[in-house]
Structure 1
């Protein structure tokens, strides 16, 4: 199937957080709190997708206040502390009345493989782990934390406006 056709069939985009919204680095402050850097252009891409009526959520293995705070600011549904991402993804998809062929997943590391192997559009950031890149049909040109989410969102919207 042609890539634009793959994007047109998507009704739900699911994103990992660390390494996708961030460059996979974490800043540890003196008191033990963590901070990350995110790319502001990702937020605009997500906002434009929401305005177009696209459904999106973040699925993160780690439970971290910074992830929740960023997702709240972006207005994204966020599921954290998810040890079995593949099972949780199937539950979320079924709960929305969708099938896996209607789902895109944007990840970066091997803990994303159970999700990437099930969805209709497996996607990853440019600096993803090599084993992840091998399994994806769409690879962003931008690295995680450097506008990869925006690039994905722009491609999704463009495919649906053609």
Structure 2
């Protein structure tokens, strides 16, 4: 069962943004401004996990301000414009006082593979690209931007309830 693959305790949930909290598409207006669509259930799941004492954050290669705006609204830490995510993931865990073995990382593409492999539990969304799928400890049933993060949050909360 997937819940047993999660660390005990889960100390942090770190997500990629595009393709995980979004469906990996972008809406470009005629003035060049970009927008994305996010699933509100993901936001509620992140809030519940955060309220349960799990650190929550986003590591994104994307430089568009929409990433920071969404994270600010959710009240979660965000680091964006990161080409090599693993050093930032390591320093984040170190700053918070725990090892990567208690971190759950969820991604969807090649730039997430190192974090998926290094974390205590690496997870891929259902529609992730093959390298991320191959690296993951397990694959979610839902696609990015369609409740995948909420699915993972529910699993984390179930794992915490097990002790």
Question: By the TM > 0.5 criterion, same fold?
Answer: yes
Q: Is the 8 A contact 1:8 1:156 kept in 2?
A: no
| Cα distance in 1 between the residues matched to 2:73 and 2:106 | 20
Are residues 124 and 2 of structure 1, via their aligned partners in 2, closer, same or farther at CA, if it must alter by over 3 Å?
Answer: closer
Structure 2 residue aligned with 1:122: 122
Residue aligning to 1:84: 84
1:108 aligns with 2:108: yes
Deviation at 1:3, TM superposition (A): 4.2
Runs of 5+ consecutive residues of structure 1 not aligned to the other structure = none
The aligned counterpart of 1:99 is 99
Q: In structure 1, how many angstroms separate the alpha carbons of the residues matched to 2:36 and 2:100?
A: 31
Give CA deviations for 1:62-111 in whole Å, capped at 9, x if unaligned: 11111111101111100011121111111111111111111110000000
State the alpha-carbon separation in 1 of the partners of residues 5 and 148 from structure 2.
20
Are 2:2 and 1:13 aligned? no
SS in 2 for 1:8: coil
Distance in 1 between residues matched to 2:83 and 2:131, nearest whole Å = 20
SS in 2 for 1:122: strand
Once the two structures are superposed, what CA deviation does each residue of 1:33-74 show, in whole Å capped at 9, x if it has no partner? 000000011111111111111111000011111111110111
Q: Once the two structures are superposed, what CA deviation does each residue of 1:137-162 show, in whole Å capped at 9, x if it has no partner?
A: 12110000000000000000011112
Aligned residues: 162
TM-score by length of structure 2 reads 0.95
- How has the CA–CA distance of structure 1 residues 5 and 137 changed in structure 2, closer, same or farther, with 3 Å as cutoff? closer
Match of 1:38 in 2: 38
For structure 2, the 5+ residue unaligned runs are: none
Q: Is the 8 A contact 1:7 1:160 kept in 2?
A: no
Regions of 4+ moved over 6 Å: none
Match of 1:156 in 2: 156
